[in-house]
Homo-oligomer: A and B are copies of this chain.
Amino acid sequence: MMDFNLTEDRRMLSDTLTRYLAEQYQIEHRNSVAYESPFHDPSKWTEMAELGIFSALANEADGGFGGAGPDIAVVFEALGNALNCEPALPLLMSSRLLSAARQDQATLLEGTAHYAVAIAEPDAPYDLLDITATANDDHRLSGRKTSVYGGNIADYFLVAAKAGDCLNLYQVQAADAEVIPYGLIDGGGAAEVLFDNTKAKLLIKNAQSALEDALDAGIIALCSEAVGMMDVTYQITVNYLKQRKQFGRPIGSFQVLQHRAVDMLTEIEQSRSITIKAASELKGPNASRYASMAKNMIGRSARLIAEEAIQMHGGIAMTWEYAISHYAKRLIMIDHQLGDTDFHLNRVIGMLNTA
């Protein structure tokens, strides 16, 4: 039966995480860790693992208690609300890949081992088909992976590379690769990872569909995070409209800003809808199509929300001190992760008549 309410379990999960972040990980703390190495807070990471947040991202067979689309959505929406910069996305995607590889992931979900997923390359930013990193017959890897999120603190890399025509998944110990860590303009850390005849372990032969599942799940996470961020950005903006006075009246009394705020609300509702849809389709035959739809729409709406929030605030939102500037950066830069607006529009076009 059609039901848009969260299940009791998920509501509790959401409440737990939201409460934890509100008490322990407010925006000031976030900003104090997000832009300096290691670009997150290791002790809070451990606490979040202990709360079971990460276990909610994996299914029971793999030691978790969730792992379905709506579980992912609930966790990442709460993280987005708080603009959290912990590397939960690489954890989620690693979990999906380790599940597919039937590897134990206890240390991952406990938060004691960091995994990062190395797919993108400078000339293959979004499309698996463009990957050129290679593995030889001895499973030694060569190539460069770019923007490996969480790569700055990873113990292991899960690497997509080609052995002949076959796209496989390998595991590499971080110590064996050349890792160039850096911080991101929207907070959090990443790395360039270079392989030069680097030894690796083959995890999955012909990993195309496992990688697609990890990407679909990652996209749902990003879209949910964006919805969480858009909600907060919108609320702060509307509150500002009520309080800020110009020309002797609250700027929220200007009809132009009112209607633009309504348009923000509309796009947020639409973004929430398509994300719900994509989450419900994860693992199904149309998972990638709906994931692409969601990521395309988020690309458009996140930009609208970020730019309008700044414009309607005026100068104050251009400052580092004001939370909106950080939400806006993350909302914009999410388009650079796991495929941008146009990439996903092209994917939807490719699937235009197949659905």
Contacts and interface: CB of A to CB of B under 8 A. Distances in A.
Interface stretch (A36-44, A50-58, A206-214, A254-262): A254-262
Contacts of A256: 255-256, 258-259
A324 to B, nearest CB: 23
Interface string A224-268: 000000000000000000000000000000111011000000000
Report the copy number of this chain in the oligomer. Answer: 2
Nearest to A253: B255
A153 B256 CA distance: 50
A254 B255 CA distance: 7
A184 to B, nearest CB: 32
A259 B260 CA distance: 12
A259 B256 CA distance: 7
A285 to B, nearest CB: 32
A278 B77 CA distance: 51
A259 B259 CA distance: 11
A345 B259 CA distance: 31
A256 B254 CA distance: 9
Contacts of A259: 256
Interface of A: 254-256, 258-259
- Which 3 pairs across A and B sit closest by C-beta, in order of nearness? A255-B255, A255-B256, A256-B259
